[in-house]
Amino acid sequence: MRAYERLLEYVKVKTPSSEENMETPSSSCQFELAERLVGEMKELGIEDAAVDGKCYVYGTIPATEGYENSPSLGFIAHMDTVSEFTENPIHPVLHKNYDGQNLVFDEGGRVLDTVLFPHLKNLKGRTLITSDGTTILGADDKAGIAEIMTMAEYVLRSDVPHGKICLAFTPDEEIGRGADHFDVEGFAADFAYTVDGGAEGEIEYENFNACEAVFKIQGVNVHPGSAKGIMINAGAVGCEIQMMLPQEETPEQTEGYEGFYHLIKINGSCERAELVYIVRDHDADKFAQKQQKLKEIADAMNQKYGEGTVDLQIKEQYRNMAEKIRPCYHLIENAKKACENMGIVPKIQPIRGGTDGARLSFMGLPCPNLGTGGYAFHGPYEHITVEGMDKSVEILMELVKIYGIIKKE
């Protein structure tokens, strides 16, 4: 079975994670996909495939006889999707021999526009997969799952010698909790890759440093007719805080290694208000400066309106895994080699986000990220190509071969 055929089936199982639910998994629907994957893995011959009580799926392919001293190589993808655009059932649509032009979705009136997505012209002649335009596709990261499963099938059906291969599929990655209960010791891989990136050939090992910052504002609410010198409008203070931040350092105005402040939620009234930000930067010093800027704003507001008006809470989410990958840079060099061996130009670029691998790298499992062949994740414009998925599988297979001939020191 080809990877895209698996994807078409996996996306029909809705698996949005829920930030509001603090249990793991955050949505019970993720167990449906987990159980399905375990069954499929067992059918392939992965005898120890299992899902644990937290909805983590694990399985191993034993090393070929005589290759037990090769590094144990892991491949990881996540089962959950974002919760946005998941109200309706997902209906994947294949567009064979795509012409590289604007594509009008079957439903909803949306257009996959080559001006907004200029890479589309490079996909001319391929088979493009989208949703019907009313939902996400779910290729993030069910494409990664499909590619790992297809690679596993090829390994088990071929006579390619290999070291031990460790597979894992995680819940709740989209809400930043995918590594919370990951059993690194039980997984028993020496190194791993997440398969959770964009175009085939992408290799990523530098991600954002990340935190969440919450401003809680306590106002003083009195009748507006007699408010002079008394009222403190919490909502207005919130607006003031937003305008004190660098207006050019937002997601829509930054790229590459540029960090940002992103206001993701705001609510309140004259009496109380709350602003929730995510703060991102690849550079640790610049990241610290951003956090200091937030603290200075909170202090300035309390000095202006009175102590206790603004409470700032900062919570670290993840760190840049580059410092953990550089000592194991063979992971990047071998990924480049795998791409080149398959005729694909490798593209090393920073992740403008995070992956399970970022946290796993700090938990003792060095884990850069590889592309899946997909684009425009997290919305109704999400798309992927059959050919890109096939190439991604070839890259995974090549990595299995490369690490199979390496011997542990």
Residues annotated catalytic, as ranges: 80, 173
The helix/strand/coil state of 140 is helix
| Residues 259, 286 contacting (CB under 8 angstroms) | yes
Phi, psi torsion values for 216, nearest 5 degrees = -110, 125
Q: Which of 27, 28, 40, 23 is nearest to 145 (CA)?
A: 40
Bridge partners of 248, per DSSP, are none
Q: Give 196-245 as a 3 state SS string.
A: EECCCCEEECCCCEEEEEEEEEECECCCHHHCCCCCECHHHHHHHHHHHC
Q: Which of 13, 58, 353 is nearest to 198 (CA)?
A: 353
CA distances from residue 103 to 5, 24, 94, 121 in whole angstroms, order as listed: 22, 38, 12, 11
| Residues 357, 321 contacting (CB under 8 angstroms) | yes
3-state helix, strand, coil in the chain (%, to 5): 35, 20, 45
How many CA atoms lie less than 13 Å away from 75 in the CB half-sphere? 31
Q: Which of 378, 387, 377 is nearest to 124 (CA)?
A: 387
Q: Give 24-41 as a 3 state SS string.
A: CCCCCHHHHHHHHHHHHH
Neighbours of 333 (CB within 10 A): 13
Phi, psi torsion values for 286, nearest 5 degrees = -65, -35
Neighbours of 303 (CB within 10 A): 11
* Owner of token pair 């989410």: 317
Neighbours of 228 (CB within 10 A): 8
* Owner of token pair 């607006």: 239
